[in-house]
């Protein structure tokens, strides 16, 4: 009976099959979209929870706490502390501009750690001047030559004020890989000079 119906109404069944196939495709796409939205939501929640934890941990840091913290967590924690203070100000930009140089550098490096965790380009995609300018100053001062050169190249590529350097995806991917390789090879020593400078000037972060 079913085969007979198909033979009698072939066009109708072709339309029905096409509709079913379209529904399946749309369902698959909807599931993928929902999965991506959940992943973004979970990442956002995780980021907010991490930020809250860092703010609590470094709300009133001691000299010993600064000395014991791994370099990356130290930078992130002090960055979160500075951010919390800036948020209490009416004029955020004026408050940022009034920060001492050391705090601007720590603040910028903290965002390199946070936004560049997966790839250095993530930092530049998420931020712009004056934060990226302060980050470049800090990197040129506290990181070794190869790492500073990689950072400078990405800075130039993403800097909209730079009309002589093009942003080429393949080049950025290669620079991201080189940056990650440098970080992995150095381990905790990657930001050690910055950490040591913070400890020398710990009074700037202890009340």
pLDDT tens digits, 188-207? 999 999 999 999 999 999 87
**Looking at the predicted structure, is the pLDDT value of residue 17 above 70?**
no
Cβ pair 96, 130 in contact under 8 A: yes
Find out whether 123 and 112 touch, Cβ atoms under 8 Å: yes
Exposed, middle or buried, 178 (CB in 10 Å: 0-12/13-18/19+)?
A: middle
CB 207 within 8 A of CB 60: yes
Three-point CA angle 120, 118, 32, nearest 5°: 130
The residue length of the chain stands at 207
Residue 154: its pLDDT value, please?
96
- pLDDT, position 3: 46
pLDDT band at 50; cut points 50, 70, 90? confident
Sketch the domain layout of the chain as residue ranges. 11-57, 61-204
pLDDT surpassing 50 at residue 168: yes
- The DSSP output letter for 104 is H
The pLDDT > 70 percentage for the chain reads 77
Run of H or E including 60: none
CB atoms within 10 A of CB 55: 14
d(CA 14, CA 55): 61
* Residue 8, pLDDT above cutoff 70: no
What's the CA gap between 184 and 88, in Å, rounded? 36
- What local confidence, expressed as pLDDT, does residue 83 receive? 94
SS3 string of 107-137? HHHHHHHHHCCCCHHHHHHHCCCCHHHHHHH
Residue 2 has a pLDDT of 45
- Averaged pLDDT for residues 131-158: 95
């Amino acid at each position: 009976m079913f085969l007979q119906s198909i033979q009698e109404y072939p066009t109708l069944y072709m339309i029905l099959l096409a509709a079913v196939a379209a529904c399946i495709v749309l369902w698959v796409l909807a599931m993928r979209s929902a999965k991506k939205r959940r992943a973004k939501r979970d990442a956002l929640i995780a980021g907010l929870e991490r930020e809250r934890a860092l703010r609590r941990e470094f709300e009133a840091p001691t000299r010993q706490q600064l000395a014991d913290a791994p370099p990356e967590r130290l930078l992130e924690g002090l960055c979160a502390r500075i951010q919390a203070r800036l948020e209490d100000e009416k004029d955020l930009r004026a408050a940022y501009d009034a920060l001492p140089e050391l705090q601007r550098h720590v603040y910028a490096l903290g965002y390199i750690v946070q936004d560049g965790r997966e790839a250095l380009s993530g930092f530049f995609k998420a931020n712009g001047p004056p934060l990226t300018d302060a980050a470049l100053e800090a990197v040129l001062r506290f990181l070794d030559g190869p790492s500073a050169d990689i950072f400078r190249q990405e800075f130039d590529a993403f800097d909209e004020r730079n009309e002589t350097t093009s942003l080429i995806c393949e080049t950025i991917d290669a620079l991201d890989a080189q940056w990650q390789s440098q970080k992995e090879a150095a381990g905790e020593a990657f930001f050690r000079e910055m950490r040591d400078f913070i400890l020398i000037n710990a009074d700037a972060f202890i009340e």
